[in-house]
Chains A and B, each alone.
Chain A
């Protein structure tokens, strides 16, 4: 989804809403009605919300009763990290800011140089303290795309009597997601990273888990999250999740990987000194994180931007700030290398023409800088 002269390659920041989603939302916007109202208009809104809950649940292998709609991934993470009341919190060193900032008191689980949560270190951390812990490890990293061994971590955490939270915001729609197989107790999702609207997300957790709400009021979402439901947003999320999951079954992952791999090959060929993070690792098929030592990330992002190519230097929330990626630093990447890393991420609207445009623009920049 790019205008003719532009290439949008920042799908991990946000994705354009799919046309089917926009159509469903436009209908829901005009529908009106408060889902808590008992009259016909209210019941119609309630029905729309519950159908979307079912669609999302189905898309990720959960039960509808597990799904709590919230305003986005950040709120879902906040709710998970503040809602459990466990005496210890352990978060991995590569978590999104919304997880890291949620609990200043959290112990940090290191990652290996390969960018994977250090399972042996987690075992030691858990063994060192008998109190049950809430552990938070993301399914796929937003910067490198590296997929984390959640099922193994879940086993470890559960054996120790703790609970596992998994931020799956970047994974939804990019790799198959089955929350039951994942084994995590709490899973955060966001709509706008996979063709749904901004402003809506979900926390998936069994009703058997006692969750202390962060937002209190009218008791919506079975008391887990007060506030009038964002009906059009929720409807859009349901449609987007169904579409994304359906497309994955139809080979979307391979299509994205082909685009990403082509970009990786061409940029590596242009610049043999470029460093690719997570190459050869299990990672999201759409994500390419690459550093060109000596060429600051901000310079690359700006030069590409002038050519109409949108990429980012790390996470969007902090991309206004010039600092090396904490994710890469946590992997032991040297600060000067981390400071030259950019993230290129593909999505449902990306085509090989976008790869061409990226390679041309980046190639010019590389030759100028060399």
Chain B
């Protein structure tokens, strides 16, 4: 029997509608979108239509969307690109970056790289519920700050940061606001205008699209300038060279379109499912606790500590479930999650924490069976 998939933060299965939309662009309609002949123009039109769908999901203009190979590249481009432009192409001596300790590795690593190049990086702690401390953030932004990078939805604990408040603060202080929205796009409402976001990264495979493609939103008014990471043929208005992968762009566009239409209903369904799952677990296992804010949390996320029970042991005891202990990138690491530790959670409890991710294809029956399996396993090991 196929295990029940409860790892929607690591990756989501591609929606069959997305796959169907992609397939013709591999074979029958295969042109290079940068070619001027009919094959190329047809491919370019498909890419532009996808770009418009992505823009619509974010409340952006299509000209503000740059396709990348994924969120890791989008985050690298946003942070390194904005920083190096300010450092190399302007007279301003802004060399500060402010971010959170709970960011995804690719944001933290990009910042660490810039630190070696002379950036002053402030990595702020978070509150015990995983949310940004806005007062602390306001203090951390100085006249030297170039960029603030705060993720929209955390990949481990699912907490939703107050994007509009952060955006307003950054706008008021005249610094760029980047948000890694890989876990947020399609799951919460995003509006780059209302939230005053200057740069926003997304990934297709976290929103039922294909792996290998993502996008960076780059504000046009007022214009946010970046230096590209990858030079070459000058595609994507010079911000990202390389032949655009047409089927992947089409897949991202289709995924964005579906998310636009179905997000609200899906969120309501997942929220009910998650609450029911948590109630079932908490009822049977009184020691269980939720890591991170309950209220400001994306619908499909549960990050749970089962005190006294190492997460690896629980995973091994639940062979019919596919879930994780944290970020997939670090899935093989033995160190407890740095995100959980940032919440003030001790090493033992962090090691006893599991991440359950529910998504579009999780059924009520699967959630019920998952609850029963986890309860059975915990009681069995505890015995």
Closest beta carbon of chain B to A220's beta carbon, Å: 7
- Say whether A38 faces chain B, with CB atoms less than 8 Å apart: yes
- Say whether A67 faces chain B, with CB atoms less than 8 Å apart: no
Contact status B34-A197, CB under 8 Å? no
Interface band, chain A: 35 or more
Contact status B232-A17, CB under 8 Å? no
Closest beta carbon of chain A to B6's beta carbon, Å: 9
Interface band, chain B: 35 or more
Kindly list chain B residues whose C-beta atoms are within 8 Å of the C-beta of A302.
36
Contact status A98-B109, CB under 8 Å? no
B1-30 CB contact bits vs A (8 Å, 1 = yes)? Answer: 001010100111110100100110011101
B27: which of A22, A73, A219 is its contact (CB, 8 Å)?
Answer: A22
Contact status A98-B211, CB under 8 Å? no
Contact status B212-A226, CB under 8 Å? no
Kindly list chain B residues whose C-beta atoms are within 8 Å of the C-beta of A198.
32, 243-248
A42 to B12, CA, bound (A): 11
A229 to B205, CA, bound (A): 10
Question: A101's closest neighbor in chain B, by CB?
Answer: B231
Contact status B30-A1, CB under 8 Å? yes
Contact status A226-B37, CB under 8 Å? no
A25 to B328, CA, bound (A): 22
Kindly identify, within residues 305 to 330 of chain B, every residue whose CB is under 8 Å from any CB belonging to chain A.
315, 321-324, 327-330
Kindly list chain A residues whose C-beta atoms are within 8 Å of the C-beta of B156.
none
A249 to B12, CA, bound (A): 39
Kindly list chain A residues whose C-beta atoms are within 8 Å of the C-beta of B179.
none
A101 to B230, CA, bound (A): 9
Closest beta carbon of chain B to A364's beta carbon, Å: 17
- Which of B72-80, B288-296, B365-373 is the interface stretch? B72-80
Question: B3's closest neighbor in chain A, by CB?
Answer: A40
Kindly list chain A residues whose C-beta atoms are within 8 Å of the C-beta of B10.
34, 36-37, 42
A94 to B330, CA, bound (A): 42
Contact status B110-A216, CB under 8 Å? yes
Kindly list chain A residues whose C-beta atoms are within 8 Å of the C-beta of B76.
214-217, 226
- Say whether B142 faces chain A, with CB atoms less than 8 Å apart: no
Closest beta carbon of chain B to A314's beta carbon, Å: 11
- Say whether B104 faces chain A, with CB atoms less than 8 Å apart: yes
Question: A201's closest neighbor in chain B, by CB?
Answer: B242
A295-332 CB contact bits vs B (8 Å, 1 = yes)? Answer: 00000011011001011110111111000000000000
A3-14 CB contact bits vs B (8 Å, 1 = yes)? Answer: 100101010011
Which 3 residue pairs across A and B have the least CB separation, nearest first? A317-B233, A217-B106, A218-B329
Can you list 6 A-B contacts (CB < 8 A)? A21-B26, A36-B10, A40-B3, A41-B7, A216-B110, A316-B34
Interface residues of A (CB under 8 A from B): 1, 3, 6, 8, 10, 13-17, 19, 21-22, 25-26, 29-30, 32-34, 36-42, 45, 70-75, 77-78, 96-99, 101-102, 190, 192, 197-200, 214-220, 226-233, 301-302, 304-305, 308, 310-313, 315-320
Interface residues of B (CB under 8 A from A): 3, 5, 7, 10-14, 16, 19, 22-23, 26-28, 30-32, 34-40, 68-73, 75-76, 104-107, 109-110, 112-113, 203, 205, 210-213, 229-235, 241-248, 315, 321-324, 327-332
